[in-house]
Structure formats: C-alpha cells, structure tokens
Structure 1
Amino acid sequence: FDSIPVNTATNVADLNSIVNECYNYLELIGCLRLITSLSDKYMLAKDILVYHVIKRVQAPFESFKQGLKTLGVLEKIQTYPEVFYSIFCHKPENLSAKILSDLFTVRALSDVQALGFWNSYLQAVEDGKSAITMEDILIFATGCSSIPPAGFKPTPSIECLHMDFPVGNKCNNCLALPITNTYQEFQENMDFAIRNTLRLEKEESSHYIGH
C-alpha cells in the first residue's frame, strides 16, 4: 500500500499518472476506478486499504474457520466466547516473585540453601533491588518474556549445580542455579550472568538482522 503514493497527488494529472503506473495491480485487486477529481484519491486510498486489511485476508480466515469446524472447536468458541477469550486475546500478566516461584518446579536433590537464595533473589528483583527484571529471568530460562496462554511444555524447572554462574537451558525450560556460600555472591552472579547473556543474545540478533 505504501508503494502506491495516492495521497501524495496534488492534482488530477498526478493522480491519473499514479493510477496509470499501477493500473495492472489496481485492476487485479479490484480497486481500479475512474478519476474525475482530486478528491477521488481518498476513495481510492480507502478501497486499497479495505482490500489489504479485509478482503486480502478473507480467504485465509475462512480456511481457518473451516479448520476449526473440523473438530467442533468453532462451535465451542461461538457458544462459550468468554472461555476462549484469554487464549485468543492474550494479555501477558505482570510477573511477580510468587508467580515465578510457583512457575518453576524444583528438581530432586536440589541444594536447600540455594533454593532459599533463589526465593530471596526473586523478592529482591520484584523490589527493584536488582539490575534485572522478572521478564529477564523468564527469558534467560525459557526464551519467553511472558507466560504463554497454554503454559510451557515442558514445565519450567530449577536445579542446583556446583558452578559459579546460572545456566538457562531454553530447550527444556530449565534454570540451573549456582551454589554459593553467601546470598550476596548468589545475587551478584545471577545478575551478571543474566544481564550479559541477554545483552549478547540481543547483539547477535541485531547483527543477524542487519545481514
């Protein structure tokens, strides 16, 4: 739509010139119209917009509806729209220390002290006493900045390993916590690893897009 500068026309001659240049395309999408005055550009722009926003997606949308009908899902959606609202109109909830604590299941034989540090760390992040955010923790462990409507598969988990820094395994949504002697060391190592890992991932992503 941006490649057809209809709204930039300042007179009928300019508008006709634009229409002639895009004649085949306008004819293809059913938006070709006779230009008699400069004000016709607004109707032409509206026709093009309607095609791109509504008509162009109509066929895929109908195909999508047919697919939902196959197993009776569409009928259920139409009968109980409020039940499906949270899935089709997902609004990410604000993450909190409790939500993340409940989200991650603890693997067997985890270090008790490290788990205590983990809960204290979540509270510190929630209270703004850390350089990172709740979303950063979730991204580090799962690759997602919010909890999907259908949840995670597999369920996010935490384990404690004899290492200095945490490790996020996005393939199985597992967060490996470091085992440290003090809470201060635990928080510093968590902050450092998560902050720098996300920064490097962002830089790599920008570099990839740039090429």
Structure 2
Amino acid sequence: MIAQFKEGMNSCGNLWQIVEKNWKVFLPLFTNEEKQLTRDEFRALFTICWSEEGSNLREKEEDTIFCWELLLNSIQEKQSTITFQEMLVFITGADSIPPLGFPGEPRIEFYTQQNRRLPFASTCGMVLFLPRGIQEEEELTDLLNTALKGYLGFGKI
C-alpha cells in the first residue's frame, strides 16, 4: 500500500520525491501538530454579517460583538472556562483548522433574542448565531457556556 501511495504521488510530477526532499515544509500537511489556536487566528476565521449601517439592529449587533471581543480576550488570557477549540467544534464540527483551510468562510450572524434563547450554530454552514443587544461579557459568556455544554455528545451513541 505504501509503494502504491508513493507511485501515485510520483505520477503527479514526482510529488513524492519533492515531499521527501522538503519534508519539513510538508509536515503540517501530513501531520496533526495540535497547535493551540490564538485569539487572532480564531478571530480571523470569521466574517461578521452586519445589518444595515445606522440601523437599530446594527447598533445592537455592535454591542454583542463588543462583548464577543471581550470574551475572546478572556479566552486568550485563560480567564474563561471556554476554549477556542470548543468554540471551533461547536461552530464547524472540526477540532482544528484543516491544513488547507475550511471549504467556506465561517461567519457570525445575529438573531433577535426572545426568552433568553441560546446562541446556536450550523456546522454545515459554519455559522455562529449570536443574539443582538448583549451588553455584558458575563451574559454572553453564560449563554455560550450553556450552549456549548448542551451540544456535548451531539451525534454520539
């Protein structure tokens, strides 16, 4: 099987020979290095889907994103029980960023909160839905903690 793999790789412009000569460059592609995500790496993954600028909805979304940024800082400083890896699994279903990146761009969208509805995610679409109008970091942290704890075991028997 290994010989077949090497032959197959070499059939594409002697790719295996290139990999052997430059193995350090290809290490992240062929191995899982279990690198911890940083705040900047995690933050850069997401596109924020804002409402129209100047609208009341946009103002509430900006409040929530301010709390989101504070939460990301708390996670980076290890002052939160939430980790970037847990958040990534909740939003994308993946426990690390794939070597070639995600097939699409993860996004943050908003919903109008009713009856303390929890944040939720679509792993298929890689979308995190956050409530508009959150004004305290602790409130967003509590909501996300509850949502993250509730998803554990999803899809497991």
- What is the aligned partner in structure 1 of residue 16 from structure 2? 74
1:178 paired to 2:131: yes
Q: Secondary structure at the match of 1:160?
A: strand
Name which of 71, 80, 99 aligns with 1:121: 71
Larger radius of gyration: 1
* Letter in structure 2 aligned against 1:193: A
Distance across 1 between alignment mates of 2:48 and 2:141: 19
Where relative contact order (Cα < 8 A, 6+ residues apart) is larger, the structure is 2
Tell me how far 1:138 sits from its aligned partner.
0.6
Percent of matched pairs sharing the same residue:
26
Tell me how far 1:90 sits from its aligned partner.
3.0
Whether the aligned pair in 2 keeps the contact of 1:92 and 1:147 (CA below 8 Å) is: no
* Letter in structure 1 aligned against 2:62: V
Equivalent residues in 2 for 1:51-200, closer than 5 Å: 60-72=1-13, 73-109=15-51, 111-163=61-113, 164-183=117-136, 184-198=138-152, 200=153
4+ runs of 1 displaced by more than 6 Å? none
Give TM-score, length-normalised by structure 2: 0.80
Distance across 2 between alignment mates of 1:100 and 1:191: 18
CA 1:146–1:181: 2 relative to 1, 3 Å: closer
Whether the aligned pair in 1 keeps the contact of 2:64 and 2:135 (CA below 8 Å) is: no
Distance across 2 between alignment mates of 1:93 and 1:71: 30
Tell me how far 1:170 sits from its aligned partner.
0.8
Deviations 1:167-186 (A, max 9, x none): 11111211111223422322
Greater fraction of residues in helix = 1
Whether the aligned pair in 2 keeps the contact of 1:180 and 1:186 (CA below 8 Å) is: no
Q: Could you list the runs of 5+ residues in structure 1 that have no partner in the other structure?
A: 1-59
Q: Secondary structure at the match of 2:87?
A: helix
Tell me how far 1:131 sits from its aligned partner.
2.8
Aligned residues: 144
- What is the aligned partner in structure 2 of residue 29 from structure 1? none
Distance across 2 between alignment mates of 1:130 and 1:192: 13
* Letter in structure 1 aligned against 2:143: N
Tell me how far 1:70 sits from its aligned partner.
2.1
